[in-house]
Amino acid sequence: PSSGAEAPHPLVGRLARLELNGTGGEPIASVGAVEILATPDLDSTAVEERLTEHRRGLEAEVARAEGKLANEGFVANAPNDVVEAERGKLDRYRAELAELSG
């Protein structure tokens, strides 16, 4: 019988610069469907700092995109595909930020 969890492909660990060595403890962070499991050699403070830094970067991108789209000159003069691309970026940044916060 399957536990529902599959062992990740070794390439996943290399791409994420992680050592995947079985199960750890309780999750210390969760981003979407990815949970980071606590192990004795995992620096949970560093993980939290990286997540906080990423969250701040997303907040800055949301503010930048909102400012750009609030600029009537930009919206009126930029090609429609550029404006739509900026709206798409804003939607993605907001969704990722909500996922990190939620």
Tens digits of pLDDT across the chain (102 residues) = 444 455 555 565 556 666 655 655 665 565 666 666 666 777 778 878 888 999 999 999 999 999 999 999 999 999 999 999 999 999 999 999 998 886
Asked if 26 and 76 sit in the same domain, the reply is no
pLDDT of residue 1: 42
pTM of the model: 0.60
CATH number of the domain to which 79 belongs: 1.10.287.380
pLDDT of residue 14: 58
* Owning domain of residue 13: 1-42
Asked if 17 and 54 sit in the same domain, the reply is no
Asked if 62 and 75 sit in the same domain, the reply is yes
pLDDT of residue 23: 59
Asked if 16 and 52 sit in the same domain, the reply is no
Distance CA 66, CA 68 (A): 5
Asked if 57 and 102 sit in the same domain, the reply is yes
